[in-house]
A and B are shown apart, each in its own frame.
Chain A
Amino acid sequence: KQEVTQIPAALSVPEGENLVLNCSFTDSAIYNLQWFRQDPGKGLTSLLLIQSSQREQTSGRLNASLDKSSGRSTLYIAASQPGDSATYLCAHRLGDTGFQKLVFGTGTRLLVSP
């Protein structure tokens, strides 16, 4: 069974801290991995996409890494801000060059206090 686990389930930090969100998956034959942000009651906003041949991707204060051999990805958020408060979801894409669906974790709920 394809499983994606995200730890911690919830995280509360003061503004300015650097933090790491973890994502682990059971199937190392992933095609790529995508990190999303979800605000309460809203849809998903794509943050970063890492192809299986890549080790990391960066966008502003965000850096995502991928280690296929250990089945892990991390999302690093530098200098956190209250506006970063949201649920962060990772999802990996399995399959061959045909159909590929996203398999999601349950998310990490982040609260950044001013």
Chain B
Amino acid sequence: DTGVSQNPRHKITKRGQNVTFRCDPISEHNRLYWYRQTLGQGPEFLTYFQNEAQLEKSRLLSDRFSAERPKGSFSTLEIQRTEQGDSAMYLCASSFQGNTEAFFGQGTRLTVV
């Protein structure tokens, strides 16, 4: 296992289109997190899964955003009707427990034009 994997690495989309990102966590990790990072800022928490259950969502996650982790393994983050303000780096992380070291993927850079 080589760590947390995110696909695609880069995505350019037109405003109004839907996009979906995928995250494959480290295999034995049951916690999975999504964060969003804009230029010059630290990552901000979006949502969190324990196994397949989505247990927490930030107010940053508008109703255009949806995340799933159907079998407690990989996760997808979908953004509907994208807006220019959605342009950011979307980071996925996983950990074995909630209080242990979190490992991040390389991120998906979204550009909405």
Contact = CB atoms under 8 A, between A and B. Distances in A.
Interface of A: 4, 31-32, 34, 36, 41-46, 49, 89, 91, 93, 95, 97-107
Contacts of A36: 104
Contacts of A41: 89, 109
A24 to B, nearest CB: 14
A41 B56 CA distance: 27
Interface of B: 4, 6, 33, 35, 40-45, 48, 50, 55-56, 89, 91, 93, 98-107, 109
A54 to B, nearest CB: 13
A107 B41 CA distance: 7
A103 B40 CA distance: 15
A31 B106 contact: no
B100 to A, nearest CB: 8
A108 B7 CA distance: 27
Contact of A32 (B6, B42, B99): B99
Nearest to A6: B42
Contacts of A101: 33, 45, 48, 56
B36 to A, nearest CB: 11
Contacts of B89: 41
Given A95-B98, A101-B48, 10 more contacts: A36-B104, A43-B91, A43-B104, A44-B91, A89-B43, A97-B99, A99-B50, A99-B98, A100-B98, A105-B42
Contacts of B109: 41
A105 B40 CA distance: 10
Contact of A106 (B35, B40, B55): B40
A99 B44 CA distance: 16
A36 B45 CA distance: 16
B99 A100 contact: yes
14 contacts: A4-B42, A34-B101, A34-B102, A42-B106, A43-B106, A43-B107, A44-B91, A46-B104, A49-B100, A95-B98, A101-B56, A102-B43, A102-B93, A104-B43
B48 A91 contact: no
Contact of A98 (B4, B40, B45, B98): B98
